[in-house]
Amino acid sequence: MLEYWLGVATLTGIYMIAVLGMSVLTGFTGLFSVGHAGFMAIGAYTSALLTKTYGIPNIFGVISAMAAALIVGLLIGYPTLKLKGDYFVIATLGIGQATKLIIENLPGITGGARGLTGIPPGSSFLTVLIIVVVVIWILRNFLRSKQGRNCVAVREDELAAASIGTKVASYKLLAMGISCALCGLSGALLAHFMQYLSPSMFSIVKSDELVMTVILGGTGSLTGSIVASLILIPLPEVLRFGAVQEWRMVFYGLLVVLVIIFRPSGLMGNREFSIAGLRRFFENMRLRMKHGRAK
């Protein structure tokens, strides 16, 4: 039983890495993607095939997975991010679907729709936990850096950002690169955790779930994405009965629409959760209790 829940926790950590990647792209830079499960697939299959066929150590498999996802991401991002309009979204749809279809139709290499087995194990709970912590630490510092702030500027107002000299397309590409590399990392870890891959694990529904998790957590809040991942990713494991899966998706969809209409900044808004913030919150509460409603 403990082992089962440890597995769920590991899986949550693995998907959280992908959600954090999407958080940089959708939450902080304001770009929308419906194909990031495709980048997870690229990462997963790259690492799985390299380690399985050539016996490369897992760590190098994971690094090549990140590189592969990054390269493909930059390739489709470079021409489309410069354009005004929905072209980038369309490109992510194309790449997400094409990746899945190509994997399905290359049974000689990828095992086709039946899946790929015999992937070397790795990704223990501890490994994933360490990687998640490192990723969060790096992203936190990135978002506080000049580059990170420029990404937020691009989300808030492209024209204004460009007028003060921010290279809008470059920062969009940067966010795209980070999200793709993280999705590749997440996919590779998934491959070594499951030791089995099939193209159906990377469907468009998975891409949609990544976006929706970010939105529900709050656009522009890293802690929001973390909290949303911790709640939403283990949910399908807890609710394993009947038609509950469909109802879960109905609920997600409804929640996303309601959040966008009534509270577009999401659960956490653009606030970050921190100990100091919590102390401030309680201090305010205490003062408010003391002096009544008036501030």
Partner 1 sequence: MFFQQVINGLSVGGIYALMAVGYSLIYSLLNFTNFAHSITVTIGAFATFYFLTELFENIYAGILFAIVVAGILAILIQILGYSVLLKKNAQRIYLLITGLGISTMCDNLVIISFTSRFRVYPVNFSTKAINVFGATFGTIDLIILAVSAVALILVQLFIKKSRAGLAIRGASFSLETASIMGINTQKLIMIVFLIAGALAGLAGALLGAKYTAYPALGTNMANKAFISSVVGGLGSITGAVIGALILGIGEVLISGYLSSAMRDIFSYTLLVIILFVKPSGLMGVDIGDRA
Does position 30 bind partner 1 by CB under 8 A?
A: yes
The one-letter amino acid code at 85 reads G
Kindly tell me which of 263 and 288 has the beta carbon lying closer to partner 1. 263
* 87 contributes a contact to partner 1 by CB under 8 A: yes
**Least Å from the CB of residue 72 to partner 1:** 10
Give the span between the Cα atoms of 189 and 57, in whole angstroms.
13
Letters for 138-167 (x = contact with partner 1 by CB under 8 A, - = none) are ---------------------x--------
DSSP SS3 for 125: helix
Contact yes or no for 68/82 (Cβ under 8 A): no
Question: How many residues of this chain interact with partner 1, rule: CB under 8 A?
Answer: 46
Shortest Cβ distance from residue 85 to partner 1 (Å)?
6
- Binding positions for partner 1, 37-76, rule CB under 8 A: 76
Neighbours of 223 (CB within 10 A): 18
User: Least Å distance between CB 173 and partner 1?
Assistant: 15
Closest CB to partner 1 among 119 and 259?
259
Binding mask 225-264 for partner 1 (x = CB under 8 A): ------------------x--xx-xx-xxxxxx--xx--x
Q: What are the distances in angstroms from CA 250 to CA 209, 212, 241, 265, 266?
A: 12, 12, 16, 21, 18
Q: Please give the torsion angle defined by the CA atoms of residues 142, 211, 266 and 270, in that order, rounded to the nearest 10 degrees.
A: 10
Whether 185 and 65 have beta carbons less than 8 Å apart is answered as yes
Q: Are 206 and 40 in contact (CB under 8 A)?
A: yes
Q: Which helix (H) or strand (E) holds 27?
A: none
Judged by CB under 8 A, the residue of 80, 179, 221, 229 near partner 1 is 80
Q: Residues 181-210: x/- map of binding to partner 1 (CB under 8 A)?
A: -----------------------xx--x--
Single-letter residue type at 283: E
**183 phi, psi to nearest 5 deg:** -65, -40
**Residues found near partner 1 in the complex (CB under 8 A):** 26, 30-32, 34, 76, 79-80, 83-87, 89-91, 93-95, 97-98, 101-102, 104-105, 159, 204-205, 208, 211-212, 215, 243, 246-247, 249-250, 252-257, 260-261, 264
